Amino acid sequence: MWLDMATLLLIHGPNLNLLGAREPRHYGAKTLRDIEGEVADAAKRLGHTVSAFQSNHEGAIIDFLQKESPKAAGIIINPGALTHYSYALYDALRDTKLPAVEVHLSDIASREEWRRVSVTSPACIAQISGKKEAGYIEALEILDAEIKSG
């Protein structure tokens, strides 16, 4: 079912509030607000709106998903380090029953061994890694196609 002006949730996990200053060689030079603005602009061109949220707290992210997912059509999520151990976040993503795309600014497959495992990606329709902020736009395009074909 195609939705006019679908709302997409854009969620960022721990430490992503420090983007722009945090290890630019891995995460790029853009700030979180820069990325959120780029995603919102691209979403608007596709006919969607974005509701962005960042927290350093796992429970706050889960609370946001539970509260906002009934009003949304899809999720773009960069879980940060929660990617590697949060089965609670995996469950929360599954419970939304929404298509979700997991995004990582850095290439997690070529970093430390522990970063190579994602326990949250099985709750998602795709994972994008290592494309810096362009990964968010790719995630948006994947969700747009999924929403419009659904």
Active-site residues, by number, are 27, 104
Looking from the CA of 104 toward its CB, the CA atoms found within 13 Å total: 23
Are 51 and 11 within 8 A, CB to CB?
no
Are 5 and 48 within 8 A, CB to CB?
yes
* Helix (H/G/I), strand (E/B), else coil: 146: helix
- What span, in angstroms and rounded, lies between the C-alpha atoms of 125 and 136? 14
Residues in the chain: 150
Question: Which residue, chain included where needed, has tokens 């700030």?
Answer: 31
Are 128 and 139 within 8 A, CB to CB?
yes
